[in-house]
Amino acid sequence: MTKASTLRALLAQTTNGPLVVPGVGTPLEAVSAEAAGFSAIYMSGYAVASWRHGLPDIGLLGARDTVDAVEAITRVTSVPLIVDADTGYGGPASVHANVRLLEAAGAAAIQIEDQTWPKKCGHMSNKEVIPAEDAALKIAAAVAARTNPDTVIIARTDSVAPLGIDEAIKRSRMFADAGADILFIDAPESVEHLTRIGKELRAPLMVNMSESGLTPAMSAAEFFEYGFGIVIYPTAALRVAAKSITNLYADLKLHGDTRPWMDRMYSLGELNTLMKLDDYMAIDEKKL
């Protein structure tokens, strides 16, 4: 059973309850998410830009950066990885080629959005989208490109802010007609928007919980009541970690002492366990 088919099986169960998926940008987060018991992981473009490169999510990375990040994560995890592939990094031909690359790197699902390039985080202002027909052609190219029929194609629209909820729903229907498996209207701005999306679109729906962003803050169970079967938390770990690291370093600079932080740290042994040190040592000792 491939990771893509595993993800398909998980999606089939979302009629009974939401699939909650944590966001990651690094292998460390991915390993931690798997250790916590999550059955799927979402690789966020924002998290990759911030964690791996120290950059904002404004289209500063390309396809090769995304492929490298996927390879690093899938190397050390066994659960399906959902990949944020931004706009697909070009027109339909580029989308086709990059879907092939991401599949080969281990992606179980690939998300393509309809922003212009350079894109922005979906919860930033002044976003622009390409014409709906062009966006649908890119989704169709992604669907045609997959070599494994179980690879999931997620179609995202960022058109709510620039063009309104009616346009976002219209585009989502076009994307479904183009073959998308999951529809993702990013940054709905109200309960009314969430209600309309859930009632007016029949395909499986994904929602993004970007804390302090444009979408009302809710639990996964609450989103499920509005019709969303997949709930992703793209940058929660990134934000917690960034704040904790900044505070740790500020305190270390001021006091020159990390002992007050030790109850908030893994011990060295606990970290080695998370990194599966014993497994690697066993391989070495057997001279495999």
pLDDT in tens, 28-67: 999 999 999 999 999 999 999 999 999 999 999 999 999 9
Q: β-strands 230-233, 109-113: how paired?
A: unpaired
Average pLDDT, the chain: 96
- 73 and 196 assigned to the same domain: yes
Q: Give residue 284's pLDDT band: very low, low, confident or very high (50, 70, 90).
A: confident
Residue with tokens 């395909």: 203
Q: Is residue 253 part of a domain?
A: no
Q: Is residue 252 part of a domain?
A: no
Q: Is residue 59 part of a domain?
A: yes
Count of the separate structural domains present in the chain: 2
Query: 155-199 pLDDT, tens per residue?
Result: 999 999 999 999 999 999 999 999 999 999 999 999 999 999 999
- 93 and 223 assigned to the same domain: yes
- 132 and 275 assigned to the same domain: no
- 170 and 31 assigned to the same domain: yes
Domain of 266, in residue numbers: 262-288
State how far the alpha carbon of 120 is from the alpha carbons of 115, 117, 123, 126, 137, in Å: 8, 8, 8, 9, 21
Q: What pLDDT does 285 receive? A: 85
State how far the alpha carbon of 55 is from the alpha carbons of 27, 45, 59, 120, 235, in Å: 18, 11, 10, 12, 14
Q: Is residue 250 part of a domain?
A: no
- 144 and 91 assigned to the same domain: yes
